[in-house]
Amino acid sequence: MDQRIAFVTCERLPDIHGDDRLVANALQRLGFQVTAAVWNDPAVDWRQFASVVIRAAWDYHLDEARYAAWLRRCETEEVNLWNPAATVLANIDKRYLADFADAGVAIVPIEYVERGQRQSLRRLLERRNWPRAVVKPAVSASAYGTWRTSLATVAADQRRLDQEVMRRSLLVQPFVDEIVTSGEWSVVFFDGEYSHAVMKKPASGDFRVQEELGGHGEPRDPSPAIVEQARRVLSHAAGSLLYARVDGIERDGGFVLMELEINEPFLYIGSSSGAAKRFADAIGRTTARTILRS
């Protein structure tokens, strides 16, 4: 079996680092050769690798069209990309959440505002009975371009909405109090199997849970019911998944989906003993299955 594995990175952080280094070390112990490769580097021949694993393509949302073209090229050239190109393409625009809701998945409600569409923020909030809300780009990462609004500030916020919607499509959702009061689950799966979970909370006075914005995640064991409900979300993805991080909140005893992260999520590998080996084993199994089918 070909032993070369590529971890997809970005120009700003081209090397394997942090938690991904733990996984690369575990893969090397399994006999694989692991290298970093920047997704938009034209010199890379992605077909040379037994598997290509998207790990740190953290600037994809800044050049969405080019990233989508790269994914389609990988699909055309039959690159063994994980997660698969078609699955990622269906996921990077957050409108997929509406499709999940139509399929019966409990989600935080959304209003989708197409690029160039004129939208009264006040009428939207009043129609949905949302006194507070969050606005975010439909394609974004790490809370990029995410901000709060409310009926109390809507007059001033309308100008910002008008400016942003001329550049990109937007998502509007009700403000989720549970993120501040209880926290947000990140439930991690490798090759469809539950691995570990963390509870994420924002910094005081903020609502964003990303660590670079002051948030923090701590290891936590979710109930079997939460794990099972998070697992069911995976079945609504457009294809097979090597890895997934299912983000959501608990409400009235159930799991409410915030996002299904299957493109380049931080997986909190270092927070769980054995997670690096579990991920490496999953990569090894997936690579072997792919080679057997080819």
Whether the per-residue pLDDT at 100 is higher than 50: the answer is yes
Residue 182 is given by DSSP the state T
Give the residue carrying structure tokens 């393509």.
57
Shared domain for 101 and 240, answered yes or no, is yes
**What does the pLDDT look like over 196-209, one tens digit per residue?**
999 988 755 555 55
- CATH for 156: 3.30.1490.20
Domain range for 244 is: 96-106+178-268
CATH number at residue 219: 3.30.470.20
CATH of the domain at 60: 3.40.50
Number of alpha helices (DSSP H) and beta strands (DSSP E) in the chain: 9, 13
* Mean pLDDT, range 101-120, rounded to an integer: 94
Shared domain check, 246 and 148: no
The reply to whether 100 and 191 lie within a common domain is yes
Q: Is it the case that residue 212 has pLDDT exceeding 80?
A: no
Q: Which two tokens mark 291?
A: 């080679």
DSSP 31: T
pLDDT digits (tens, 9 = 90+) for 41-95: 999 999 999 999 999 998 888 888 999 999 999 999 999 999 999 999 999 999 9
Reported as half-sphere exposure (CB side, CA atoms, 13 A), residue 212 has a value of 6
Residues 18 and 78 in one domain: yes
pLDDT at 207: 56
Identify whether residues 70 and 135 lie together within a single domain.
no
% of the chain beyond a pLDDT of 70: 91
* 119, 188: one domain: no
Give CA separation, 86 vs 6, 79, 133, 193, in Å.
Answer: 19, 12, 31, 21
> Do 278 and 247 share a structural domain?
no
% of the chain at pLDDT higher than 90: 74
My answer on whether 187 and 262 are in the same domain is: yes
Mark whether 133 and 229 lie in a shared domain.
no
Say what the pTM is.
0.91
